[in-house]
């Protein structure tokens, strides 16, 4: 994996770039009648909403009825996923024209490391200004950029600067910036964790920073406790990672409240498997672990999973597994109303990476090293681990590999 140098004493060189109200902005860009108006994308539930709608209290993930009560004048549009995907690609092209060190986080946000670019492209803030201008002129979308010394702080900064803003957190004022913020600004603090913290009187990041790590671990578990303690003190040594790949591919569907016949359920399941396996094949990924996800009318959830001996992207194999998982969940489904069903395939292996890795299993060391470098550059370190594991399962002789 390409990894940028660890953020050190060189100052604020990490950018977090985040498109504003992404889906809604694409709609406003493509239909002038929507500009300046409250726009809601998605009918049953709000997938995204413009800032004009947010001003009325409309929020992402809010149900459609509630959103319309808060903002009766809103214009509701159907999502156009392919348009968003196109726009995202164009924006990432601008990122990559800025620096090769880009770590995509989702369809609409990424980290950029601009540490080595001061001489040729100017200060990080100048680069961020140019980036915002270019996204606007080349793709027609507003974007907010946070600039800081760490990933976490850059992300917090963009969150504070939204919409259509730019904010740098200078290295000598980090805690001054961070500690007055609400705990919910911390990455990884959602409703449940925020409530736990608030119930103990911890409302600001600074309050969390006063607690010993052990206290946070006792409260939230080992990983979350450590994570939060580190973030509250602005310790985040994670470098930008280029070439991160998806670890699972899935699809799900809401079923509504009325009971569904077994035949209907099977048809829905087959449709989901078909969608997922098509996407796997077009992404050239195959996987071993099939997970069935269910949600019931009381909002409880259940999952059932099975791991196959060999990775596959074939509809038939995944469907057979999915049907078997659905049968094991029959008692649950009989007892409660099923409102959502989903399938995802994880434990993804990468065909191309394996083809590169496996033929070299008996080659001389230097040949092997260069093959591994190719794999690493192209698919990341994890691809090698997966290649070795698969090789072992297939009984191939694999030499010891460097870390």
Partner DNA sequence: TCTGGGGTCCTAGGACCC
Catalytic residues: 109
Query: Of residues 35, 173, 235, 247, which one binds DNA by CB under 7 A?
Result: 247
Nearer Cβ to DNA, position 10 or 301? 301
63: contact with DNA by CB under 7 A: yes
Alpha-carbon distances of 390 from 133, 350, 375, 400, rounded to whole Å: 46, 11, 15, 14
**The tokens 């009918």 sit on which residue?**
43
| Residues in the chain, total | 403
Nearer Cβ to DNA, position 65 or 100? 65
Nearer Cβ to DNA, position 351 or 367? 351
Binding-site string for DNA from residue 382 to residue 401, where x marks contact by CB under 7 A and - marks none: -------x------------
260: contact with DNA by CB under 7 A: no
Nearest approach in angstroms of CB 130 to DNA is 23
103: contact with DNA by CB under 7 A: no
Q: What is the DSSP letter of 211?
A: S
> Which residues, numbered 334-353, are part of the site for DNA (CB under 7 A)?
339-340, 342, 344, 346-347
Provide CB contacts within 8 A for 106, sequence distance 6+: none
Query: Of residues 250, 274, 323, 381, which one binds DNA by CB under 7 A?
Result: 250
381: contact with DNA by CB under 7 A: no
**Which neighbouring-strand residues pair with 39?**
75
Binding-site string for DNA from residue 111 to residue 150, where x marks contact by CB under 7 A and - marks none: ----------------------------------------
User: Do 293 and 301 touch, CB atoms closer than 8 A?
Assistant: yes
Nearest to 361 by CA among 388, 321, 330: 388
Nearest approach in angstroms of CB 195 to DNA is 8
Nearest approach in angstroms of CB 120 to DNA is 31
User: Do 240 and 103 touch, CB atoms closer than 8 A?
Assistant: yes
- Total residues at interface with DNA (CB under 7 A): 63
> Which residues, numbered 294-313, are part of the site for DNA (CB under 7 A)?
297, 299-307
Alpha-carbon distances of 50 from 24, 32, 88, 164, 165, rounded to whole Å: 5, 14, 17, 12, 16
Query: Of residues 191, 201, 331, 395, which one binds DNA by CB under 7 A?
Result: 191
Q: What is the rounded CA–CA span in Å between residue 369 and residue 400?
A: 11
CA R_g for the chain: 24
Nearest to 289 by CA among 344, 239, 360: 344
Q: What is the rounded CA–CA span in Å between residue 130 and residue 329?
A: 54
Nearest to 304 by CA among 268, 337, 344: 344
Nearest approach in angstroms of CB 370 to DNA is 26
Query: Of residues 10, 89, 100, 106, which one binds DNA by CB under 7 A?
Result: 106
Q: What is the DSSP letter of 179?
A: T
The stretch among 25-33, 90-98, 114-122, 180-188 that binds DNA (CB under 7 A) is 180-188
The stretch among 142-150, 171-179, 221-229, 395-403 that binds DNA (CB under 7 A) is 221-229
**Which neighbouring-strand residues pair with 314?**
none
> Was 18 annotated as part of a binding site?
yes
Query: Of residues 252, 315, 374, 381, which one binds DNA by CB under 7 A?
Result: 252
Q: What is the rounded CA–CA span in Å between residue 305 and residue 321?
A: 9
> Two tokens at 22?
């992404």
**Cα 234 from chain centre:** 22
Q: What is the rounded CA–CA span in Å between residue 66 and residue 380?
A: 44
Query: Of residues 6, 32, 61, 82, which one binds DNA by CB under 7 A?
Result: 61
Query: Of residues 20, 27, 103, 108, which one binds DNA by CB under 7 A?
Result: 108
Long-range contacts of 194-199 (CB under 8 A, 24+ apart): 196/220
Which residues of the shown chain bind DNA in the complex (CB under 7 A)?
A: 22, 42, 44-45, 47, 60-61, 63-65, 68, 105-109, 155, 186-194, 221-224, 246-254, 256-257, 275, 279, 288-289, 297, 299-307, 328, 339-340, 342, 344, 346-347, 389
Q: Which residues are annotated as a binding site for Mg(2+)?
A: 18, 108
């Amino acid at each position: 994996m390409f990894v940028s140098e660890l953020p050190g004493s060189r100052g604020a060189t990490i950018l977090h770039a985040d498109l504003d109200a992404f889906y809604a902005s694409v709609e406003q860009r493509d239909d002038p009648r929507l500009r300046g108006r409250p726009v809601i994308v998605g009918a049953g539930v709000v997938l995204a909403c413009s800032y004009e709608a947010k001003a009325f209290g409309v929020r992402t993930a809010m149900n459609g009825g509630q959103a319309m009560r808060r903002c009766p004048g809103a214009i509701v549009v159907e999502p156009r996923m392919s348009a968003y995907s196109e726009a995202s690609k164009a924006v990432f092209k601008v990122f990559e024209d800025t620096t090769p060190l880009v770590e995509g986080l989702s369809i609409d946000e990424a980290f950029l490391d601009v540490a080595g670019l001061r001489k040729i492209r100017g200060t990080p803030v100048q680069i961020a200004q140019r980036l915002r201008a270019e996204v606007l002129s080349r793709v027609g979308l507003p974007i907010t950029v946070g600039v800081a010394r760490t990933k976490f702080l850059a992300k917090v900064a963009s969150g504070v600067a939204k919409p259509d803003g730019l904010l740098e957190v200078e290295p000598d004022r980090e805690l001054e910036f961070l500690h007055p913020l609400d705990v919910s600004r911390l990455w990884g603090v959602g409703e449940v964790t925020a409530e736990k913290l608030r119930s103990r009187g911890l409302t600001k990041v600074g309050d969390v920073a006063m607690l010993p790590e052990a206290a946070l671990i006792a409260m939230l578990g080992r990983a979350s406790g450590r994570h939060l303690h580190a973030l509250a003190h602005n310790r985040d040594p994670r470098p930008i990672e280029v070439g991160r790949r998806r670890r699972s591919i899935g699809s799900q569907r809401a079923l509504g409240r009325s009971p569904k016949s077994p035949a209907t359920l099977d048809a829905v399941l087959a449709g989901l498997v078909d969608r997922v396996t098509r996407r796997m094949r077009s992404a050239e990924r195959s996987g071993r672990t099939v997970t069935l996800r269910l949600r019931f009318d009381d909002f409880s959830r259940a999952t059932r999973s099975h791991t196959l001996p060999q990775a596959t992207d074939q509809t038939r194999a995944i469907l057979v597994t999915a049907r078997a998982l659905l049968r094991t969940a029959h008692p649950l489904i009989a007892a409660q109303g099923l409102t959502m069903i989903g399938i995802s395939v994880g434990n993804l292996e990468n065909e191309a990476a394996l083809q590169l890795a496996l033929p070299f299993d008996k080659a001389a060391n230097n040949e092997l090293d260069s093959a591994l470098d190719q794999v690493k550059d192209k698919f990341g370190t994890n691809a090698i681990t997966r290649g070795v594991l698969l090789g072992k399962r297939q009984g191939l002789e694999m030499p010891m590999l460097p870390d």
